[in-house]
A and B are shown apart, each in its own frame.
Chain A
Amino acid sequence: MATLTVALIVGAVLFGIGLYGALSQTNLVMIMMGVELMLGAAMVNLVAFWRFLHPEVYAGQMFVLIVMTVMALEMTVGFGIATGRFRAKGSVEMEEAGDLKG
């Protein structure tokens, strides 16, 4: 039980840090870093639940693979938008982006 609680506490704190980062940063790449931290927190929780509650059911591990995929997709699309935005406006500062129109 102790390890499960430790992992969930770590997940909760990481989620809070990621949420702070995603909301407070003005740069697109830094916002993506905050989102990555939140997804990392979700993965910690998923692995902890799998390990300590249902280690015989592998849907938990499968879910972690899906979250990893989401992380990669978020980076792919995020950097695509960043590249498009940089080409159009010369900056990826979100303060200057009223909309995403190139």
Chain B
Amino acid sequence: MIQAVFTGLFGLAAIWFGVVVFRTASMVRSALALLFSMAAIGGMFLAMEAEFLGVLQLMMMATEMAIMAIFMVMYMMDPGGLGGMDMTHQKRASLVAGALGALGSLAVAVLAGWGPVEERVPAATAQVRGLGIEIMERSMLVFETAGVTILTAMIAATAIAIQRRR
């Protein structure tokens, strides 16, 4: 019961800050709201006893969103939101699509039979060990593919962003 309460509280925080991302005019506030939303998701992981993933999520998102805030200030025409610019389009269609996506997912979440729920979970150290073995055995190819994809993305991003000499 306590687990459900904490998961719900962190979930409400994630949803609230997720809404703030698109409600505030200030881009810096948007980035910070996304940071808090992602941190709340990390809190949900911790509440669901996935300690390693929770800590990883908190650490990764803190740096990722800080970088995002810098880019937003660099590239936005009105990063402070002081000009009152409207930076949205097709609002109604987006709202309908978002609502339909959420309602469809909610229907599946509530109506589907998920089978028996496991109450016990391995200890945090056993989880890390199990994940390590999973990475090094069954999912090794997937993990290696992710590594190669990261390298490819780094090269592609640099190639796109680099200034062309004419």
Contact = CB atoms under 8 A, between A and B. Distances in A.
A60 B108 CA distance: 19
Contacts of B98: 16-21, 23
Contacts of A55: 118, 120-122
Given A59-B134, A80-B158, A6 B11 contact: yes
A20 B94 contact: yes
A49 to B, nearest CB: 8
Interface residues on B, range: 35 or more
Interface residues on A, range: 35 or more
A92 B78 CA distance: 12
A66 B19 contact: no
A4 B116 CA distance: 11
Nearest 5 pairs of A and B residues by beta carbon:
A16-B102, A20-B98, A80-B157, A10-B11, A12-B105
Interface of B: 1, 3-4, 7-8, 11-12, 14-15, 18-19, 21-22, 27, 30-31, 34, 37-38, 41, 44-45, 48-50, 52-53, 56-57, 60, 64, 67-68, 71-72, 74-77, 87-91, 93-95, 97-99, 101-103, 105-106, 108-110, 114-115, 117-118, 120-122, 127, 130-131, 133-135, 138-139, 142-143, 146, 149-150, 153-154, 156-161, 163-164
26 contacts: A1-B117, A6-B7, A12-B106, A14-B41, A17-B19, A19-B94, A19-B101, A20-B97, A21-B22, A21-B98, A24-B91, A29-B75, A30-B87, A33-B68, A50-B50, A51-B49, A51-B50, A55-B120, A66-B146, A72-B150, A77-B153, A77-B156, A79-B71, A80-B159, A82-B71, A87-B161
